[in-house]
Amino acid sequence: MRYLLVEDNLELAEAIASRLAMDGHAVDHAASLAEAEDCLATADYDLILLDVMLPDGDGRAFLKRSRDRLEVPVIVLTARSRVSDRVDALDEGADDYLTKPFDFSELEARCRAVLRRRGGSARNEIALGAAVFDPMAGTLCCGSSTVELRNREIRLLEVFARHPGQILSKGQLMDRLFSHDAEVTENAIEVYVGRLRRRIEGKGVRIETVRGLGYRMDTTAP
Amino acid sequence: MTGTGSIGRRLTFLLAGVAALLSVLSWGMVTGLALEAAERTQDNVLAASATTIAETLRSEQGQVQLELPYSAFAMLGAISEDRVFYLVTAGEEMLTGYPDLPVPQLGPPSPGRVVFDTGNYRGAEIRMAMLTRLVLAGAQPVPVTVTVAQTRNGVDAITGELSQLAATLAVAFFLVAVALSFFAARTSLRPLNEIARAVSRRGPSDLRPLRRDAPAELAPLLAALNRLMARLGQSIQRSEDFIAEAAHRVRTPLATVRVQAEIALRSIEDEAQRRRLRQMIRAVDESSRSAEQILDHATVAYRTDDLARDRIDLAELARQTAKALEPTAAMKDIELRLETEPAEVAGDAVLLDSALRNVLDNAIKYSPEDTTVRLTVSTDGGEARMAVSDQGPGLGEGPAEALTERFRRGSNTEGIVGSGLGLTIVDDVLRAHGGRLELGRVKKGEGACVTLVLPLA
């Protein structure tokens, strides 16, 4: 995925960019609306993350101006959360909005929902051995058979897919799967891994337990 | 009257008072004129009668003789059925008539002039006319006085009749005047009412100046009103800008902290450190959520003060709100199941959305993974019911109503980020719309059912 992040606070922008990069996404950063225009003129993006308060104008006004020629979905990042402001952002053509500070798994979930509404794009597909995994659509295809995964299963498989061959600890998986306000035990990870294993059985993708360390995905199985 | 009464009523009363005064005056004048006219007519006839009698006076052999002509009395009978009295005296000697008839006592009688007076005779009021004439009886001129009197019933009757007619006319005039003053008061106050209506018809946030033609007297009021609205608009704008700026300044660094903590969580293996980072993230979430709900609460209070009354289909609203929260539910693999039937209510869509969002947000937050949250919209006897039920831990022990108090949280909410303002906001919104919040007392472990009840439009 390629993101355009329009945010004037450099520290936050840098943090969001590094966080998205961790999941294997490319991020271009624009610190103002003018820079954002330049970026949009030269590159294609899958999604725009747009701050509303920018040094050279209101993000929502920009949205209203460019909504007609812009085909990229937009998620507005707002520090305001007043009831009426939420409606404003959506009225002016944003696909969704998120209030700062936000949970990255929520950002992910909202991006997924927006992209799924917009039909997704082929470049999101990940080859897992013989199978093709589309994290946006939530499908895993192998030959002629396709399995539709549920949200948590998609995210779990995505984590493995972004770190091929790497051992992931239960703690690492927990952070990526659950929001931080929920008390989850490592037991829950075992439940979800077990469930995912059953769902993708026979698709050429296997998740093996590395005793004492965690789990690893193996895409070389027959 | 003090300055707090109604101008319209004051104007009506004032004009009606003037009309009443004029009516009474005109009635009095008409009655007075009628009385005078009737009296003058009677006087003229009495004078003519006395003159006619006096015409027949002659002297015969030194004696004053008279012949009472019928016509003298006929003319008196012509105006009314009143009793007629007369007395003719020559010097000290009575010639004919009623001897005890009083005569006008108005100084020395002057010959040839008719003198009038009013008196009482035989229990009735009478009007008298007296004429003195000098008749030569022999060599001596003898002063002969002819007095003709008549009771006044006829005059009273005519005066009474005319006075009654005048009174009827005066009452009619008064009634018409009252109606006209009411109409005049209303008409002249109409521009004022129109301005009031134009102001009250406006939505809670419409502070544009009033553009309308007003009579010259109202122009300063209109101008002052527009200046006030402009100032109010500016001050609201300033405080909104300030709140937005403050929120931006506080929340952007908080967002940075949160993202950095998440990044650190990815790279740190030590469990004790990871727990600290998670606590940090939760503290950030807690402060941001509290700030959000305090702001929401303020907005709700401001908007409910002057509630918009748009027609809203709750089924459509429920669909929109559920769609917005779908990704949040998906994060926990919670299924949002929607069952709706059309239910139109009158209200503020932003507030109702905010209320439903709070309830749904709660349901998702307190529900375990992999469960179902059900949202149903139904109608029941003039009421729309929007119910959210979950498979969470329920509302906990203690009275359910206490949960709507400010900053009050249920007894079983430990470990979940919340400010305790959510249900207060919901309750405020519903009350403002004439609805109520119903909290389902589901047994522990069987989920909660929160119902938003609103009157149908």
**pLDDT, tens digit (0-9, with 9 covering 90-100), for B192-222:** 888 888 888 776 667 888 887 778 888 888 8
pLDDT band at B1 (very low <50, low <70, confident <90, very high): very low
Chain A positions in Cβ-Cβ contact with residue B351 (cut-off 8 Å):
83
Looking at the fold, whether A187 and A85 belong to one and the same domain comes out as no
Q: How far is B424 from chain A (nearest CA, A)?
A: 15
Q: Which residue of B has its CA nearest to A96?
A: B324
Strands (E), chain A: 2-6, 26-30, 47-51, 53-54, 57-58, 74-78, 96-99, 126-128, 131-134, 139-142, 145-148, 206-210, 214-218
Chain B positions in Cβ-Cβ contact with residue A105 (cut-off 8 Å):
331
Chain A positions in Cβ-Cβ contact with residue B288 (cut-off 8 Å):
99-101
Looking at the fold, whether A147 and A103 belong to one and the same domain comes out as no
Chain A positions in Cβ-Cβ contact with residue B330 (cut-off 8 Å):
109, 112-113, 151
Looking at the fold, whether B318 and B249 belong to one and the same domain comes out as no
Q: Is B299 in Cβ contact with A83 (below 8 Å)? A: yes
Q: What is the pLDDT of residue B9?
A: 83
What is the average pLDDT across B105-133? Answer: 81
Q: Is A169 in Cβ contact with B255 (below 8 Å)? A: no
Is residue B193 domain-resident?
no
User: CATH number, domain at A43?
Assistant: 3.40.50.2300
Q: Is A101 in Cβ contact with B255 (below 8 Å)? A: yes
Looking at the fold, whether A20 and A73 belong to one and the same domain comes out as yes
Q: Which of B244, B284, B327 sits opposite A106 (nearest CB)?
A: B327
User: CATH number, domain at A142?
Assistant: 1.10.10.10
- Last-in-domain residue among B244, B277, B306: B306
Looking at the fold, whether B261 and B313 belong to one and the same domain comes out as no
Looking at the fold, whether A93 and A138 belong to one and the same domain comes out as no
Is residue B134 domain-resident?
yes
- Last-in-domain residue among B258, B277, B306: B306
The one-letter amino acid code at B314 reads L
Q: Is A82 in Cβ contact with B295 (below 8 Å)? A: yes
Q: Is B251 in Cβ contact with A105 (below 8 Å)? A: no
Question: How many CB atoms lie under 10 A from the CB of residue B25?
Answer: 11
Question: How many CB atoms lie under 10 A from the CB of residue B83?
Answer: 14
Q: Is B328 in Cβ contact with A106 (below 8 Å)? A: yes
Looking at the fold, whether B135 and B213 belong to one and the same domain comes out as no
Looking at the fold, whether A146 and A57 belong to one and the same domain comes out as no
Looking at the fold, whether A88 and A6 belong to one and the same domain comes out as yes
Q: Is B251 in Cβ contact with A100 (below 8 Å)? A: yes
Using a CB–CB cutoff of 8 Å, tell me whether A187 touches chain B: no
pLDDT band at B419 (very low <50, low <70, confident <90, very high): low
Question: How many CB atoms lie under 10 A from the CB of residue B158?
Answer: 19
What letters, b where the CB count within 10 A reaches 16 and e where it falls short, cover A7-28? bbbeebbbbbbebbebbebebb
Compute the count of residue pairs across chains A and B with CB atoms less than 8 Å apart: 128
**B416 compared with B240, residue with greater pLDDT:** B240
Q: Which of A14-28, A31-45, B194-208 has the lowest mean pLDDT?
A: B194-208
Looking at the fold, whether A153 and A112 belong to one and the same domain comes out as no
Range of the domain at A162: 125-218
Looking at the fold, whether A27 and A74 belong to one and the same domain comes out as yes
Looking at the fold, whether B152 and B90 belong to one and the same domain comes out as yes
Looking at the fold, whether A101 and A48 belong to one and the same domain comes out as yes
Rg (CA), chain B: 50
pLDDT band at A180 (very low <50, low <70, confident <90, very high): low
Copy the structure tokens of residue B201. Answer: 């018809």
Q: Which of B247, B269, B296 sits opposite A79 (nearest CB)?
A: B247
Looking at the fold, whether A11 and A94 belong to one and the same domain comes out as yes
Question: How many CB atoms lie under 10 A from the CB of residue B234?
Answer: 11
Q: What is the pLDDT of residue B360?
A: 93
Select from B195, B196, B227 the least CA-distant residue to B214.
Answer: B195
- Last-in-domain residue among A118, A138, A158: A118
Residue B225 pLDDT more than 90? no
> Edge to edge, what strands does the sheet with B449-455 contain?
B335-340, B372-380, B383-389, B449-455, B436-440
Single pTM value for the model: 0.63
- Last-in-domain residue among B106, B140, B159: B159
Cα(B343)–Cα(B378) distance, integer angstroms: 7
Residue A64 pLDDT more than 70? yes
As for how many domains chain B has, the answer is: 3
Is residue B450 domain-resident?
yes
Looking at the fold, whether A18 and A89 belong to one and the same domain comes out as yes
Interface test with A, best of B206, B259, B426 (most A CBs within 10 A): B259
Residue A69 pLDDT more than 50? yes
Provide CB contacts within 8 A for B4, sequence distance 6+: none
Chain A positions in Cβ-Cβ contact with residue B278 (cut-off 8 Å):
180
Do residues B318 and B386 make contact, with C-beta atoms less than 8 angstroms apart?
yes
- Last-in-domain residue among A118, A136, A161: A118
- Last-in-domain residue among A83, A118, A153: A118
Range of the domain at B209: 202-306
Cα(B364)–Cα(B357) distance, integer angstroms: 10
User: CATH number, domain at B239?
Assistant: 1.10.287
Looking at the fold, whether B276 and B408 belong to one and the same domain comes out as no
Select from B47, B140, B54, B46 the least CA-distant residue to B91.
Answer: B140
pLDDT digits (tens, 9 = 90+) for B135-187: 887 777 888 888 888 888 888 888 888 889 989 999 998 999 889 888 888 88
Cα(B283)–Cα(A54) distance, integer angstroms: 27
User: How many contiguous H segments (helices) and E segments (strands) does chain A have?
Assistant: 8, 13
Q: How far is A22 from chain B (nearest CA, A)?
A: 8
Q: Is A150 in Cβ contact with B333 (below 8 Å)? A: yes
Q: CA distances (Å), B395 to each of B57, B227, B447, in order?
A: 126, 50, 8
Looking at the fold, whether B300 and B366 belong to one and the same domain comes out as no
Burial degree of B109 (CB within 10 A; 0-12, 13-18, 19+): middle
Looking at the fold, whether A64 and A8 belong to one and the same domain comes out as yes
Q: Which residue of B has its CA nearest to A116?
A: B327
Is residue B168 domain-resident?
no
